[in-house]
Amino acid sequence: MMLDLVPISKTGYNKLKEELDRLEKVELPDVQKAVAEARELGDLKENGAYIYGRERQGFIVGRIGELKGMMNRSDIIDCTQVPSDQAEFGTVVTLLDLDTQEKVTYQLLGPHDADIDTGSISIHSPVGRAILGHSVGDKLSVTIPRGDRHFEVIAIARSEIK
């Protein structure tokens, strides 16, 4: 069975790698040490430090597995090198909301590195899917929980961030 690759920016991939390294090299050894010390205190059923440590260890081990899985399925893309003639992964797209006349700008990224607080959205989100493949001047509609929204693509650019 072949795995479906998930696009991710170089920056997003590096963030995943940094988190994995921190968990494997710092947090997991620290919690393992704390669990061993708590085990030496005796009765494990009443030992809050031991119980908490084991739960934390399980969370960290689970997150390490999750990160490794995400990284193994990653298709790393340098967003500074994508073409900007149409909206695609990595491009920065400026839209005009045809209902409010407000401009909004999004970078189209994958689900593992999209962050609305930094102006990036997932290509798998309703708005991201609606934008993909469009060029400057194209009009598009998208249904979101607040209702139908209507946009015009007014600019597409390459990202300055990998």
Predicted confidence (pLDDT) per residue in 68-100, tens digit: 999 999 999 898 888 889 999 999 999 999 999
Q: What's the pLDDT score for residue 8?
A: 92
Q: Looking at 118-162, which runs of residues are DSSP E strands? A: 120-122, 139-144, 147-157
Q: What's the pLDDT score for residue 91?
A: 94
78-157 folds as: Chitinase A; domain 3 (3.10.50)
Residue 119 pLDDT more than 80?
A: yes
CB atoms within 10 A of CB 91: 23
Intrachain domains 6-76 and 78-157 with the same fold = no
Q: How confident is the model over 111-123, as a mean pLDDT?
A: 89
Decide if 95 contacts 151 (C-beta within 8 A). yes
pLDDT digits (tens, 9 = 90+) for 33-51: 988 888 887 766 677 788 8
- Which two three-digit tokens encode residue 25? 């090299």
- pTM for the whole thing? 0.78
Q: Sketch the domain layout of the chain as residue ranges.
A: 6-76, 78-157
CATH for the stretch 6-76: 1.10.287.180
| CA angle (93 as vertex; 4, 10 as ends), nearest 5 | 45
What is the average pLDDT score of the chain? 90
Query: Of all residues in the chain, what percent are helix, strand and coil, respectively (each to 5)?
Result: 40, 25, 35
